Amino acid sequence: MIQYSLVCENEHKFDAWFRNASAYDEQKVKGIVTCPICTSGDVHKALMAPALSRAKSDKVVVSTGHPQQAELRTAMKALRDKVTSEADYVGDKFASEARKIHDNESEARGIYGEATQDEVSGLVEDGIDFMPLPNLPEDHN
Ligand SMILES: [Zn+2]
């Protein structure tokens, strides 16, 4: 069973249960899915509140989880801790410093810091190796 938050053409919000996602589609096509308040058959799924996102356009990748979630999370945290404890923090100079290291203009070493989306795109275009550090949910305020 799967629960959907639905909204009708008159903005009535209600929850409904379906056997599965295709059951919802089938029933909607047949006009069986109706608003319990005004009986309108013109209903659609309500958008979830973008609570995970800082701005409407700022999308985040989310999943429903994995059986090994806790394990993987620990591993990701260990990886991040290892990187951040052994690499030099260069702040917002990451892109320029990574480029200097790549061009042998700076000492070869591990660094980490922040980069803008444009800088990240530039590094990818120039074939400079880097990896995003995992952002763990516990870091969020
Ligand atoms: Zn309604």
So what's the pLDDT on residue 89? 92
Q: Encode pLDDT of 35-71 as tens digits.
A: 989 999 999 988 765 444 455 566 667 777 778 888 8
Q: For residue 30, report the distance from its CA to the centre of ligand 1, in Å.
A: 17
| CB contact set of 76 (below 8 Å; sequence gap of 6+) | 134, 136
36 CA to centre of ligand 1 in angstroms: 7
Decide if 72 contacts 80 (C-beta within 8 A): no
Residue 111: beta bridge partners?
Answer: 88
Q: Which of 50, 51, 49, 45 is nearest to 16 (CA)?
A: 45
Q: Angle between the 117-125 and 94-102 helix axes, to the nearest 10 degrees?
A: 10
pTM for the full predicted model: 0.47
Express each pLDDT in 69-109 by its tens digit: 888 888 888 888 888 899 999 999 999 999 999 999 999 99
For residue 12, how far is its CA from the centre of ligand 1 (angstroms)? 5
What is the rounded average pLDDT of the residues 120-138?
Answer: 80
